[in-house]
Amino acid sequence: MSPGNFRGNAVFVGDRSGRGGFASHQETMRRLLRTLLPFSAVAALAIAAAPAAAATAVSPARGFAPRQILVKFEGERHGRALGLAPGVGVRRAAEALNRNPRVVYAAPNYLATASVTPGPPFDPDDSGALEGAPEASSVAGGWAFKQWNFLAPEGDVSAGMPGSPGGIDAVDAWRNLMKAGRPGAAGVVVAVLDSGIAYRSRGPSFSRSPDFGPGQFVPGHDFVDRDSLPLDESGHGTHVAGTIGEKTDNGIGLTGLAYGAKLMPVRVLDRDGIGNALDIAKGIRFAVAHHAQVINMSFNFDCGNRVPLVDEALQDAYERGVVTVASVGNLGSESCVSAPATGPRVIGVGGTTEGGCLGNYSLAGTGVDIVAPGGGVPQSRCPSVAARPIYQVTLLPGSTRDFAIPANYVGTSMAAAHVSGVAAMVLATGSVNPVLSPAAQVRKVARLLRQTARDLGLPRVQQGAGLLDAAAATSVFPRFSRP
């Protein structure tokens, strides 16, 4: 999909119209930055004008991998990939195999695409800066003027912290985690199944994000290039990873929800944001085998495509106690809530806006369990026109070594990352009894997220249980000892 399509333009227009109301905030931010942010920190982020065509744009190519079929025969534990001879149609081969009574299923190796809605790539403002000095702990850092999604709805006047009607109150959640002795969800492992993460530097062409540290990662894998270096070539994965756990309280850039958690980069999407069912199923199994406790999946298959191989991997993840979270998909790139959000026990996440309304891109259906900030233009009945995107530090479009805080990341991709981050925080609070079976622990986390969500007064198919509330989800007692 090109950045000039309907949703891209809608995001662009909405973003600009949303700015009017934030002029004063931005002025304050600029003033704050002058005092808080050293020039070198800004330079390190290499914020520069970017070309109009964003590398984050999702390719229009859809469908399935050629000459391959995913099939499971009776008596087998999991399905597998079978090669097809040239000239054999994938769909016809699947139909023929499905007529065989010994075949449990046969399906094309469907492609999934990143669930971000592309828009204009450049954010003209300076970065936020989190308080790095102890004396600044009672002052809101510059981050708070960008990351509306992490603010409390009412703000905190005594602390000088602004509020935002669409915020999930990460501020109080961070406090709750410190009280629990697990700051930033320390000790939890979150797998990010995506386009990779800019998690380390390599040679002259790949750089680690200036807002990630080497200690924030556990080893991952690259199922696209089949190597052990899941480096991001798109920026989507680094953005998603940023929402989950961008380095926080380090004086530069922005913040992340579970900034104390370890991130596991699992690359299943290529530089165009496209992956296939086989690689995604392998990625899920890798994350489970390497003790991830949460798996984030910010991508979707086409509406109605069944992906049994992925569903099997998700079912195993559930039985092994791994919380799985997925975007429900965006109107335009998909037409209904689709896999993997519809998979077994997956928490399906829709997207909300700065004004606390449903995003005009967020798909409705029974697969919507909860909603979280995805930014962008709200549905028409929203009382607020605020339409800013989700800001994180990520790769400049087209680069694997230069970073920026772009203004074109909008969608249920971003929303899912919020739920994964808060799921990690919930696990860290110790409110899930470790005596429960692994599957019961997964159900408990999902239930806690739903029960503490804020009702937006929308139909259930649109909002699920409501808007994610990080503070409420992490203030639940009783607490059990460290899992």
Which residues does the annotation mark as catalytic? 194, 236, 413
Cis geometry, peptide bond prior to residue 165 (ω within 30 degrees of 0): no
Q: Tell which positions 47-86 bind Ca ion, by CB under 5 A.
A: none
3-state helix, strand, coil in the chain (%, to 5): 30, 20, 50
**Closer Cβ to Ca ion, 330 or 394, answer by number:** 394
**Closer Cβ to Ca ion, 97 or 395, answer by number:** 395
Partners of residue 114 on adjacent β-strands: 299
**Closer Cβ to Ca ion, 26 or 250, answer by number:** 250
* Least spacing, CB of residue 253 vs Ca ion, in Å: 4
Applying CB under 5 A, what is the total number of residues that bind Ca ion? 8
Give the start-end residues of each E strand in 89-188. 103-114
Torsion of CA 182, 183, 185, 191, to 10 degrees: -130
Q: By the 8 A CB rule, do 366 and 343 touch? A: no
Token pair 């958690």 is found at 261
Binder of Ca ion out of 126, 169, 194, 222 (CB under 5 A): 222
Other Cβ atoms closer than 10 A to 398: 17
Distance, CA of 192 to CA of 194 (rounded, Å)? 6
Distance, CA of 303 to CA of 279 (rounded, Å)? 19
Binder of Ca ion out of 123, 211, 279, 312 (CB under 5 A): 211
User: Of 61-69, 74-82, 154-162, 208-216, which segment contacts Ca ion by CB under 5 A?
Assistant: 208-216
Say whether 363 sits in a helix, a strand or coil: coil
**Closer Cβ to Ca ion, 250 or 475, answer by number:** 250
Helix (H) or strand (E) holding 297: strand 294-297
* Least spacing, CB of residue 318 vs Ca ion, in Å: 29
Q: Tell which positions 238-277 bind Ca ion, by CB under 5 A.
A: 247, 250, 253
Q: By the 8 A CB rule, do 300 and 327 touch? A: yes
**Closer Cβ to Ca ion, 122 or 199, answer by number:** 199
* Least spacing, CB of residue 75 vs Ca ion, in Å: 36
* Least spacing, CB of residue 93 vs Ca ion, in Å: 31
* Least spacing, CB of residue 481 vs Ca ion, in Å: 31
Binder of Ca ion out of 38, 66, 227, 366 (CB under 5 A): 227
Q: By the 8 A CB rule, do 378 and 356 touch? A: no
User: Of 85-93, 226-234, 428-436, 472-480, which segment contacts Ca ion by CB under 5 A?
Assistant: 226-234
Position 332 contacts Ca ion (CB under 5 A): no
Residues that bind Ca ion (CB under 5 A): 211, 222, 225, 227, 229, 247, 250, 253
